[in-house]
Amino acid sequence: MGFLKEFKEFAVKGNVIDLAVGVVIGGAFGKIVTSLVEDIITPALLNPALKAINAENLSELVVPGTAIKYGSFLAALISFIIIAFALFVMIKGINKLKKQEPVKEAAPAGPTQEELLAEIRDLLKKQ
């Protein structure tokens, strides 16, 4: 019975539930970012640049006479850079929208170690 009770306490702890919510929200946020990149940023920026260099489909670029598809790698690399930049801009905007928490004043500092040692010394001298 003890094992099941411990497992129940672990499973319903706030940390596990927070993690589950975070995973679900992260998955949904991932879809938003993917849509932003694939449906807005890529057509607006990348497609015109690819048309300018006559390479409309990067994944079709290969080293002649080999199976090396460097175009797929370039597409994945460009996609990563665009996603990372989009996330950076979005997180920066979200952080600006958050309320700035008031800075807590530091508690007044107590006596230093030297002062405490001096007090102990003085008390020992009196005895």
* Domain count for the chain: 1
Does residue 70 fall inside a structural domain?
Answer: yes
Domain with residue 82: its CATH number is 1.10.1200
Least Cα distance to 75 among 40, 44, 39, 38 occurs for 38
Does residue 106 fall inside a structural domain?
Answer: no
Does residue 114 fall inside a structural domain?
Answer: no
The pLDDT value recorded for residue 101 is: 65
Does residue 122 fall inside a structural domain?
Answer: no
Does residue 66 fall inside a structural domain?
Answer: yes
CA distance 77 to 72: 9
The pLDDT value recorded for residue 118 is: 92
Which residues span the domain enclosing 74? 2-99
Q: pLDDT tens-digit profile of 47-101? A: 777 777 776 676 677 778 887 877 778 878 877 887 788 778 888 888 888 876 6
CA distance 47 to 41: 9
Does residue 126 fall inside a structural domain?
Answer: no
Does residue 120 fall inside a structural domain?
Answer: no
Does residue 112 fall inside a structural domain?
Answer: no
Q: How many angstroms separate the Cα of 2 from the Cα of each of 8, 13, 16, 50?
A: 10, 17, 20, 63
Query: Has this prediction a pTM greater than 0.75?
Result: no
